[in-house]
Amino acid sequence: MVFSSVIFLFYFLPIALLGNYLLKSIQLKNIFLLLMSLVFYASGEGVLVVLVLISTIINYFSGVLITVTKHKKLFLSIGVLLNLSLLFYYKYINFIIENLNLSGFLHLNQTHIILPIGISFFTFHGLSYIVDVYRDKSLVQRNFPSILLYITFFPQLVAGPIVRYHDIAPQLFKRETTFDKTIYGIKRFMIGLSKKVLLANSLGALTDQILSTDINLIGGNVAWLAMISYTLQIYFDFSGYSDMAIGLAKMFGFNFLENFNFPYISRSVKEFWQRWHISLSNWFRDYLYIPLGGNRKGSVATYKNLCIVFLCTGLWHGAQWSFIIWGCLHGTFLILERAFLSKYLERWKIFSHIYMFFVIITTWTFFRIDNFQMIMAMLKKMYFSWNDSSTLLGLSDFVSKEHLTILIAALIFAIPWHKIVIVKNTKVKTFLEYSHSFFLMGLFLLCIMSLASNTYNPFIYFRF
């Protein structure tokens, strides 16, 4: 089940909100939300909901054993190993077998494994919980349904954001569902839904149309169009999902931290990762980069740690070499910035934005296309065949007036104009606040009409 579906919007969500409103006891609310969350996951994944239960059981007992025995590190290690074993088996085993077979040393049969949606997310939730218990940053939770609700809470279960247990623990036992929170949550959800349905879906259809065309029939300008479209698609797809998750959580009285902060206005790769998928980059910082030593042991060790972190970041996104290369490229640019490039980026603002434009779009090519030969062909078109007159298809063959409108709107909304243009006139500000609500209602109606008429509605990060 996806947030941008008729079933979720008109059946699941109203029932969840009504039940949460009618139940007065926080314990009953939690049980109700837990059941709804399990139904939410099982509706799409069926019996694989058992895997989420197994993962939670592992983390529940790991947390308890860490606190009641003298062998804290042993049970932490066992808990981490079991979590990673589940992730490794379901997400990476076929990738390992395929590469061993290609090496010629072994000839193993690949297993038929269905990748559970959101396994990377709920695994990272569990890992952060037991590590924080070990570090005494979180109190152990001995009530199993509470841990299960933390892991399975449907707004963040399948595509994040990654929520730390110590951030949400107090809200599991004391929270308020106020009118103001509900209204804010509804507005935030509408913003996310509009990003997803009106922008990301249209951009995704354009990207797919171009990339499904024979690469020899397009020129560099069309290749650039495809990757610019994808660059905007993935931002509005995932930030839209995060907006919906934050809005949904707010409707039920929970506060989630922000996950995106207009990453495409960044002036360096370092800043990009401070703005893009913030919960993931913070997770790797706190649970991998800092334990490895961070930047405390000299430049060489720091560069090594960055390489490890971004290798893992690439692997986290998927069992493909293209993801690994994507992560390693980001790590390489971070190292270059740390070594010497940052001083030039800070000095020359225009250069820094141009630099980021090419870095981000070029690296997204590895993220979007899983065939290395196709990636090289796309990059060759982008950088060495800008306007190849020998090609049969040009921009006019792909870009309609509707596509052009969507592209312009996406470029506009990828920039935080509300922070740049500050309205000081009170009357104008009040008018904008009221008109904003009507504007969102209009967008919501457009979303419903679009969902009723279109079947193209994928979420990119459901793969992870």
**Two structure tokens written together for 261:** 């902060």
Q: How many angstroms separate the CA atoms of 178 and 396, rounded? A: 51
**Two structure tokens written together for 58:** 């592992």
In the three-class reduction of DSSP (H, G, I as helix; E, B as strand; rest coil), residue 387 is classed as: coil
Write the DSSP symbol of residue 369. Answer: -
Active site residue 317: yes
Q: How many angstroms separate the CA atoms of 1 and 37, rounded? A: 11
Q: How many angstroms separate the CA atoms of 183 and 266, rounded? A: 31
Q: How many angstroms separate the CA atoms of 456 and 387, rounded? A: 31
Among 31, 407, 7, which residue's Cα sits nearest to residue 210? 407
Q: Which of 317, 330, 353, 436 is catalytic?
A: 317
Q: How many angstroms separate the CA atoms of 127 and 105, rounded? A: 34
Q: How many angstroms separate the CA atoms of 112 and 89, rounded? A: 11
Q: How many angstroms separate the CA atoms of 95 and 85, rounded? A: 14
- For residue 117, give Cα distances in angstroms to 48, 183, 256: 9, 30, 21
Beta bridge partners of 218: 393
Q: Which residues contact 456 (CB under 8 A, 6 or more apart)?
A: 201, 204, 205
**102 C-beta neighbours (distance < 10 Å), count:** 9
Q: If you write DSSP's letter for every residue of 314-328 in order, what string do you get? A: HHHH-SSHHHHHHHH
**Two structure tokens written together for 166:** 């110590």
Residue 320 burial (10 A CB sphere; 0-12, 13-18, 19+)? middle
Q: If you write DSSP's letter for every residue of 200-263 in order, what string do you get? A: IHHHHHHHHHHHTS-GGGB-HHHHHHHHHHHHHHHHHHHHHHHHHHHHHHHHTT--PPP----G
**Could you tell me if 334 and 308 are in contact, meaning their C-beta atoms sit under 8 angstroms apart?**
no
Among 39, 58, 59, which residue's Cα sits nearest to residue 49? 39
Q: How many angstroms separate the CA atoms of 409 and 235, rounded? A: 13
Residues serving a catalytic function are 317
